[in-house]
């Protein structure tokens, strides 16, 4: 049977992608950000899964106000890199895993979660920047990736509680797949940031670190946090953090009320307008 071996959490700041693509990672400003991922790149080499289930949000690139799926699962064999206005990032195409994606869709939809099946979804910085942070600049990504897009852009957006329970349904779906695949689930976006209005530039270190502590040790209680707390404390784009609860909900049941193994933890301000947070949790 397939199983979830670990979960990875990381911010997806688009300027990080630009820094990599333009060869600026050694500059003092960016060096401090990339230093937090040195461990992670080696860890991923040592723990390469068969498939990455990558929870992220589209930023009005694949979707628009014409079509707003709350949860969309990418079931295609391949996903193009989105053109976000200055050409697609020069990164490898993303190969999918149609069989596992279809199985997860079947199981999770039968478990009463409404997923939208997507076969054409160009992937934007929400998905490619986490891959770049964890993999560097390879000729091909190390394994197939199932894109799982969550609407955290246009309200109404799903609650943390629903995201956490969806993660549990994904755990069950993976565990019932009849192939011995090692699957990682990544939760991306966040941490505190606000890109608009009078509070643009808002960062809340204390809140972010309390979020990380609780995500590790007591996610079931964290999942009860209402949207308004995210927006008030972590800024309008801080709401992206509900996606981390999907990945955390997919960790082993035994860790629902106590901490899993923390392989790595990193927090840094600033990266563009965003606080960068990063965690690796292992199921073993």
Catalytic residues: 125, 193
SS3 per-residue string spanning 171-230 = HHHHHCCCCCCEEEEEEECCCCCCCCCCCCCCCCHHHHHHHHHHHHHCHHHHCCCCHHHH
User: Quick one: which segment of 11-19, 172-180, 219-227, 247-255 binds ligand DHB (CB under 6 A)?
Assistant: 11-19
In whole angstroms, give the CA distance from residue 33 to residue 268.
7
Measured from the CB of residue 64, what is the shortest distance to ligand DHB in angstroms? 15
For position 10 contacting ligand DHB by CB under 6 A, the verdict is: no
Instruction: Give the residue with the Cβ less far from ligand DHB, 237 or 282.
Output: 237
> How far is Cα 245 from Cα 223, in angstroms, rounded to an integer?
7
Q: Are 230 and 208 in contact (CB under 8 A)?
A: no
Q: Is 97 in the site for ligand DHB (CB under 6 A)?
A: no
Instruction: Give the interface size with ligand DHB as a residue count (CB under 6 A).
Output: 11
- Which residues, numbered 34-73, are part of the site for ligand DHB (CB under 6 A)? 59
236 binds ligand DHB, rule: CB under 6 A:
no
User: Near ligand DHB by CB under 6 A, which window of 202-210, 224-232, 245-253, 267-275?
Assistant: 267-275
In angstroms, rounded to a whole number, what is the distance separating the alpha carbons of residues 154 and 55?
A: 17
Nearer to ligand DHB, 236 or 283 (CB): 236
Scan for tokens 């630009």, then name that residue: 18
Indicate the residue among 51 and 239 with the shorter CB distance to ligand DHB. 239
Query: At 30, which helix (H) or strand (E)?
Result: helix 28-35
Q: Is 278 in the site for ligand DHB (CB under 6 A)?
A: no
Least distance to ligand DHB from the beta carbon of 166, Å?
Answer: 21
Which member of 10, 128, 194, 273 binds ligand DHB (CB under 6 A)?
273
| 269 sits near ligand DHB (criterion: CB under 6 A) | no
Say which DSSP state 92 is in.
P
Q: Cβ distance 79 to 121 under 8 Å?
A: yes
- Tokens 């840094």 belong to 268
Q: Which of 104, 152, 274, 279 touches ligand DHB (CB under 6 A)?
A: 274
Interaction between residue 193 and ligand DHB (CB under 6 A): yes
Report the C-alpha gap between 10 and 131 in whole angstroms: 10
Residues at the site binding ligand DHB, with contacts judged by CB under 6 A: 12-15, 59, 193, 195, 237, 272-274
């Amino acid at each position: 049977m397939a199983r979830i071996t670990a979960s990875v959490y990381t911010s997806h700041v688009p300027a990080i992608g630009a820094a990599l693509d333009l060869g600026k990672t050694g500059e003092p400003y960016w060096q401090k950000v990339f230093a937090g991922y040195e461990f992670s790149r080696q860890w991923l080499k040592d723990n390469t899964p068969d498939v990455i289930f990558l929870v992220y949000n589209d930023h009005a690139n694949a979707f628009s106000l014409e079509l707003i799926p709350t949860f969309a699962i990418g079931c295609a064999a391949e996903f193009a890199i989105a053109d976000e206005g200055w050409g697609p990032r020069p990164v490898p195409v993303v190969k999918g895993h149609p069989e596992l994606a279809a199985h997860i869709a079947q199981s999770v939809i039968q478990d009463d979660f409404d997923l939208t099946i997507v076969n054409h979804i160009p992937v934007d910085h929400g998905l490619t920047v986490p891959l770049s942070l964890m993999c560097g600049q390879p000729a091909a990504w190390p394994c197939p990736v199932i894109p799982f897009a969550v609407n955290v852009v246009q309200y109404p957006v799903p609650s943390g509680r629903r995201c956490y329970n969806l993660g549990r349904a994904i755990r069950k779906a993976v565990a019932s797949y009849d192939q011995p695949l090692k699957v990682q689930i990544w939760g991306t976006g966040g941490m505190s940031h606000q890109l608009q209005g009078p509070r643009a530039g808002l960062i809340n270190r204390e809140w972010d670190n309390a979020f990380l502590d609780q995500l590790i040790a007591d996610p079931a209680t964290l999942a009860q946090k209402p949207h308004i707390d995210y927006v008030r404390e972590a800024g309008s784009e801080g709401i992206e953090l509900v996606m981390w609860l999907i990945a955390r909900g997919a960790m082993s049941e035994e860790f629902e009320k106590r901490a899993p193994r923390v392989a790595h933890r990193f927090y840094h301000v600033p990266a563009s307008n965003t606080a960068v947070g990063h965690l690796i949790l292992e199921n073993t």
